[in-house]
């Protein structure tokens, strides 16, 4: 990708966003996701219940985070808006950051129908080799605690 | 509300028609514009401001050792970083490194690092479960069938007029600020699910509409923990526990303080009142019943955090 645009999503609204770090100065866009804000996605609403809109507090909080970043703001259908932004900037691809929300991956799949998408990893809290049993926290923490603390030394 | 102008970081590319505004005369003007742009979103702005600068200020005030000692009190030194972490204004790795940088003895910071671990754990589970995070992970251990729980949030709860000073106080704070201390989240969740017998999903969805840090990982799995679909026993509490960790603030002004407080009982009484007898865990002769989790239960689980993970307290 020579001329990518950056898609910023709601899990990475800070300077540690790996897409912003890898491509400083490239056009970046955040889209207020109409479905999500209406409570019609599992990110904000029970799929088995009626949808209820997310409160203005949450939108305001996101907005204030976003004002500190070099990013254009849109609202509506995320994939459609990101692709329109990419076209307007003559982009040859889209760079974003990995998200935990399955919605991020689903949107990436929509974007990929039109343009190549590169998903950059976020610095992890802890890296665990091979499979971890997530049945209960204690099982996870038995493995993770040692690895996390390996990064600390008293002389820091 | 402060009146200084809010200007977005400069953009090195031209604006396009349909771009949302990035410059406001004041925070009040931002609120007004957002109301016009998102007319279906109820409420007003939170007094809690978004952004990296706010996050860094809070991060600078983190005191791991004090946190370890007093975090369970509503006025205790919790970090209030959860909304910033949820939206990546700060990453969990950045918080970890900031805690390490001020850690002289490992023991003093172990609790706070453990709580960051809870956030990581819930995120890993979300990745694994996907949208299945809205379904019961296990059977309920309350002795009640799933169908015994109401599907909808009761109107008095949604409007914060239950008549209980504590619960109405928590609901007002949730609605006004979008943030609650973890202990308040646990009490409110236990009240809704066990005393009012409402399915946890209704409460989880309500929280997600309001919490600045709301994501289905920490939120839904903590509701399931309270409900007992992601733990060995339901979580409940009594007045003594709530009164202690809220420093009596609510009970002093509660009209039900002298008579009619539904939490004013021993754990044995509440257990008998709230839950139905459980069938034996194993068939084939065992008549053991699972012990239920109370605020003074055994020490096999961890403690509350700013990341909406509930727990029992001694």
Please give the DSSP secondary-structure letter assigned to residue B51: S
Query: Residue B88: what pLDDT?
Result: 98
Domains of chain A, first to last? 4-120 (3.40.50.620), 125-156 (no CATH)
Contacts of A71 in chain B (CB under 8 A): 9, 11
Q: Which residues contact B296 (CB under 8 A, 6 or more apart)?
A: B241, B267, B312, B313, B314
Contacts of A12 in chain B (CB under 8 A): 87-88
Residue of A39, A47, A56, A151 to mutate for B, most B C-beta atoms under 10 A: A56
Tell me: pLDDT of A30 over 90.
yes
Residue B4 near chain A (CB below 8 Å): no
Residue A122 near chain B (CB below 8 Å): yes
Which residues are A29's β-sheet partners? A7, A72
Distance from CA of A2 to the nearest CA of B (A): 17
Q: What is chain B's mean pLDDT, rounded?
A: 90
Distance of CA A125 to the CA centre of its chain: 16
Q: Check if the beta carbon of residue A28 is closer than 8 Å to that of residue A95.
A: no
The band of B305, judged by pLDDT with boundaries at 50, 70 and 90, is: very low
Q: Quick one: what percent of chain B has pLDDT higher than 90?
A: 86
Which of 79-118 (A) contact B at CB < 8 A?
85, 88-89, 97, 100-102
Query: Residue B260: what pLDDT?
Result: 95
* pTM score: 0.92
Tell me: pLDDT of B314 over 90.
no
Query: Residue B298: what pLDDT?
Result: 36
Query: How do the domains of chain B map onto residue ranges?
Result: 133-294
State the average pLDDT over residues B33-47. 98
Tokens of A115: 């343009």
Tell me: pLDDT of B157 over 80.
yes
- Euclidean distance between CA atoms B175 and A55, whole angstroms: 9
* ipTM for the whole predicted complex goes beyond 0.85: yes
pLDDT tens digits, one per residue of A48-91: 999 999 999 999 999 999 999 999 999 999 999 999 999 999 99
Residue B127's Cβ-count burial label (10 Å; 0-12, 13-18, 19+) is middle
Residue among A27, A46, A145 whose CB faces B13 most closely: A27
Tell me: pLDDT of B160 over 70.
yes
- Scanning every residue of chain A, which has its alpha carbon at the shortest distance from the alpha carbon of B216? A43
State the average pLDDT over residues B205-216. 98
The band of B292, judged by pLDDT with boundaries at 50, 70 and 90, is: low
Query: Residue B4: what pLDDT?
Result: 84
Which of 135-154 (A) contact B at CB < 8 A?
137, 140-141, 144-145, 148-149, 151-152, 154
Would you identify the CATH topology of the domain B133-294? Answer: DNA Cyclobutane Dipyrimidine Photolyase, subunit A; domain 3 (1.10.579)
- Scanning every residue of chain B, which has its alpha carbon at the shortest distance from the alpha carbon of A9? B87
The band of B287, judged by pLDDT with boundaries at 50, 70 and 90, is: very low
Query: Residue B2: what pLDDT?
Result: 54
Residue among B8, B34, B130 whose CB faces A56 most closely: B34
State the average pLDDT over residues B182-191. 98
pLDDT tens digits, one per residue of B228-258: 999 999 999 999 999 999 999 999 999 999 9
Distance from CA of B168 to the nearest CA of A (A): 19
Q: Check if the beta carbon of residue B121 is closer than 8 Å to that of residue B84.
A: no
Distance of CA A86 to the CA centre of its chain: 17
Query: Residue B313: what pLDDT?
Result: 37
The CB density around residue B251, as the number of other CB atoms within 10 Å, is 20
Instruction: Tell if the CB–CB gap between A10 and B87 is shorter than 8 Å.
Output: yes
Per residue, the 3-state secondary structure of B243-284, as one string, reads HHHCCCHHHHHCCCCCCCCCCCCCHHHHHHHHCCCCCCCCCC
Helix axes A102-112 and A78-88, enclosed angle (nearest 10): 40
pLDDT tens digits, one per residue of B125-145: 999 999 999 999 999 999 999
Residue among B37, B87, B215 whose CB faces A65 most closely: B87
Residue B105 near chain A (CB below 8 Å): yes
Residue B150 near chain A (CB below 8 Å): no
Residue of A64, A70, A76 to mutate for B, most B C-beta atoms under 10 A: A64
Tell me: pLDDT of B75 over 60.
yes
Tell me: pLDDT of B277 over 90.
no
State the average pLDDT over residues B293-310. 41
State the average pLDDT over residues B98-127. 96
Q: What is the DSSP string of A20-56?
A: HHHSTTS-EEEEEEHHHHTT-STTTS-TTS---PPPH
Q: Regarding beta strands B6-7 and A117-120, do their DSSP bridges make them parallel or antiparallel, or are they unpaired?
A: unpaired
Contacts 24+ apart (CB under 8 A), B15-21: B15/A72, B16/A72, B16/A85, B16/A88, B18/A74, B19/A72, B19/A73, B19/A74, B20/A32, B20/A73, B20/A74, B20/A75, B21/A73
Q: What is chain A's mean pLDDT, rounded?
A: 96
Distance from CA of A113 to the nearest CA of B (A): 23
């Amino acid at each position: 990708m020579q001329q990518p645009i950056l898609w910023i999503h709601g899990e990475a609204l800070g300077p540690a966003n790996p897409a912003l770090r890898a491509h400083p100065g490239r056009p970046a866009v955040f889209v207020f996701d109409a479905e999500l804000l209406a409570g019609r996605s599992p990110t904000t609403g029970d799929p088995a219940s009626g949808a209820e809109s997310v409160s203005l507090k949450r939108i305001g909080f996101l907005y204030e985070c976003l004002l500190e970043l070099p990013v254009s703001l849109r609202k509506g259908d995320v994939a459609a808006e990101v692709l329109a932004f990419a076209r307007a900037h003559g982009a040859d691809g889209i760079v974003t950051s990995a998200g935990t929300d399955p919605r991020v991956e689903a949107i990436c799949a929509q974007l990929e129908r039109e343009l190549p998408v590169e998903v950059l990893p976020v610095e992890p809290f802890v890296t665990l080799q091979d499979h971890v049993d997530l049945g209960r926290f204690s099982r996870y923490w038995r493995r993770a605690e040692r690895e996390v603390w390996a990064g600390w030394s008293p002389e820091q | 509300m402060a009146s200084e102008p809010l200007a977005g970081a400069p953009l090195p590319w031209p604006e396009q028609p349909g771009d949302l505004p990035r410059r406001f005369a004041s925070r009040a003007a931002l609120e007004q514009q957002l109301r016009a742009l998102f007319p279906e979103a109820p409420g007003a702005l939170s007094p809690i401001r978004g952004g990296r600068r706010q996050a860094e200020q809070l991060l600078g005030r983190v005191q791991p050792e004090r946190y370890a000692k007093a975090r369970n009190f509503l006025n205790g030194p919790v970090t209030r970083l959860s909304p910033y972490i949820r939206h990546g204004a700060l990453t969990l790795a950045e918080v970890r490194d900031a805690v390490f940088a001020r850690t002289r003895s490992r023991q003093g910071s172990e609790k706070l690092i453990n709580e960051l671990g809870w956030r990581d754990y819930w995120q890993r589970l979300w990745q694994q479960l996907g949208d299945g995070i809205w379904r019961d992970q296990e059977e309920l251990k309350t002795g009640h069938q799933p169908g015994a729980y109401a599907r909808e949030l009761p109107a008095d709860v949604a409007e914060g007029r239950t008549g209980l000073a504590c619960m109405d106080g928590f609901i007002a704070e949730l609605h006004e600020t979008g943030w609650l201390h973890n202990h308040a989240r646990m009490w409110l969740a236990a009240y809704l699910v066990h005393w009012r017998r409402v399915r946890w999903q209704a409460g989880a969805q309500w929280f997600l509409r309001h919490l600045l840090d709301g994501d289905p990982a920490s939120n839904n799995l903590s509701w399931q923990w309270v409900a007992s679909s992601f733990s060995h026993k339901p979580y409940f509490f009594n007045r003594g526990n709530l009164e202690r960790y809220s420093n009596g603030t609510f009970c002093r002004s509660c009209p039900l303080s002298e008579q009619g407080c539904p939490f004013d009982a021993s754990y044995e009484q509440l257990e008998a009142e709230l839950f139905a007898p459980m069938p034996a865990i194993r068939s084939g002769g065992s008549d053991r019943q699972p012990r239920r989790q109370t605020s003074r239960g055994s020490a096999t689980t961890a403690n509350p955090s700013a990341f909406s993970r509930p727990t029992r307290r001694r």
